[in-house]
Chain A
Amino acid sequence: MGVEAVTVAGVGMHPWGKWGENFVTYGVAAARAALADAGIEWSDVGFVAGADTMRNGYPGYVAGATFAQALGWTGIPVTSAYGACASGAMALEAARQRILAGLCDVALVVGADTTPKGFLKPNAGERTDDPDWLRFHLLGATNPTYFALYARRRMELFGATPQDFTAVKVKNAAHGLSNPNARYRKKVTAADVDASPLVASPLRLLDICATSDGGAAVVLTSTDYARKRLADSPKVDIAAISTITPTFPNTVIEMPEFATDSAAGIAAPQRTFKQAIGHAAYEQAGISPEDVGVAEVYDLSTALELDWYEDLGFCEQGQAEQLLRDGAPPSAGAYP
């Protein structure tokens, strides 16, 4: 009998902050916590998927091997994922596919990273054919530049206000209060956001995600393995992971690009890239946005979280501010 589905048997995290340690330290701490949470021995793991960014040099490029080595070589195969902020999802999907293919029963997914103070920046060296290097060199375009372009667009098209963006921050900071792994565990007021310096108009410092060090890990098993071996612990099945790419032409400007694709020759697809990401997940899971009870939405910037409400189908385009003002996301509304 084939593998029906994949179960999350355990999770672990290294707190996020500025710790000054090597990324492997965070990854190993998270991995050991996840294994303990699952009640599974490292020696029972059949596959490791590591996720990391370009900021940790060679050990980061081979993150899967780095974590497996640090935990003690057992001879198992590994893979390494780098997809910027989607690295974790890519690593999860690699591990899930491995289990669905029947090649292992237990897989460990580990992601860890370190970040510099201030703006993220491209790798060193004069790389005139690297769009990430060129956007800093020619445009002075940092990551917040792109977040701010989307934010300004929301203000112009949909009447979003800086107060709406502030409300997102206040809500998310309140969630962090009770999370021991959160970077900041303090209440943030609207006045705090308004008093923070403007970085990329209309976004202020507290509208933009902080750069942090930390790590997270997940133990995945086949549902069959979980049923037989992990009967007593709480488990969650994975119904879908969406790791799609854009369909040409991608008509929304994306970091680190200088331009969108052109829609002059080939019409833009029915859904934008971000809309398609959510749609693919819903389709895979066989559900619709109305079926979602809890949503943890990407808040790379406060305004971007509002974009995602719409792209994930929680409201019509242009209605995210209303959803927020109605108190749906922060309280016990449709999407708490």
Chain B
Amino acid sequence: MSTATTRRRPAVEGWFTMPEPGTGESPHLIGTRCAGSGTFFFPPERVMSRAPGFAGSQLEEVLLSNRGRLWSWTDAQYQPPPPYVPVSDPHEPFCIAAVELEAEQMVVLGQVRAGVSVDDLELGMEMELVLDPCGSNTTTTRARTSRWSCGSGYRCATQGKQATATTGRPSDGGRSGNRCRRGHAPMGQVG
């Protein structure tokens, strides 16, 4: 397929931004914020705030942090049943990350880009939001979905695959390396 005929459309409307390639802009998840309580919602609540006592409060659309720290992770060794759309035949295991956003104080799930295995991931490591095709890309209409990529510049992230797997900037440098050793408690509480 020629890329010229490829249209990008979101796999779900209103959940994330889709900057044009080449603009240098990073994608963000779209959330809403309860003006009264200051709490955030993702997926974005559009009708009313779910914060108790703030039902009448205004909901403001906000872009959520597109970097966060790994809260936990796993993988899908078997192909999930529909409506999962296979991306390869046979199935290639992929990772799923739970990422903690510091400012929003919430944990968001996302697939991790292909080529990353569970052994590449460590508690507390920085993750960055990226966009990838959702399901088979053999048609001209390529639905895109948001995924979490290991933050670039992170030493143990993906060992070489990293360079091609993410468009992120190495803003965090080596700092994250030291505070993301296995076994360190991350931010926040666990239930």
Interface residues of A (CB under 8 A from B): 118-119, 121-122, 126, 128, 131, 133-142, 144-145, 148-153, 156-157, 159, 197-203, 248-249, 251-253, 257-266, 268, 272-275, 307, 311
Cβ–Cβ < 8 Å partners of A139 in chain B: 96, 109-111
Grouping DSSP codes into helix (H, G, I), strand (E, B) and loop, the B interface class, with mixed when no group exceeds half, is loop
- Are B109's CB and A156's CB within 8 A? no
Shortest Cβ distance from residue B133 to the other chain A in the assembled complex, whole angstroms: 12
For the complex of A and B, list the 7 residue pairs with the smallest distance between their C-beta atoms, beginning with the closest: A265-B39, A265-B38, A272-B191, A252-B191, A148-B74, A265-B37, A262-B40
Q: List 12 A-B contacts (CB under 8 A).
A: A135-B109, A138-B111, A141-B96, A149-B74, A149-B98, A153-B72, A156-B123, A251-B107, A253-B109, A262-B104, A268-B189, A275-B191
Alpha-carbon gap, A249 to B185, bound state (A): 21
A262:B98 contact, CB within 8 angstroms:
no
- In the complex with contacts A262-B39, A263-B106, A265-B38, A140-B76 CB distance below 8 A: yes
Size band of the interface chain B makes with A: 35 or more
Q: How far is the CA of A272 from the CA of B11 in the complex (A)?
A: 33
Cross-interface CB contact of A261 among B39, B74, B84, B118, cutoff 8 Å: B39
**A200-B74, A264-B103 known; A137-B11 Cβ under 8 A:** yes
Taking CB atoms, residues of chain B closer than 8 Å to A137 are 11, 83-85, 134
> In the bound complex, do residue A253 and residue B74 qualify as a contact, i.e. CB atoms below 8 Å apart?
no
Residue of chain B at shortest CB distance from A254 = B191
Chain A residue with minimal CB distance to B73? A152
Q: List 12 additional contacts besides A139-B109, A265-B34; criterion CB under 8 Å.
A: A119-B81, A135-B109, A137-B134, A140-B76, A148-B74, A149-B71, A149-B72, A200-B76, A260-B108, A262-B104, A272-B191, A273-B191
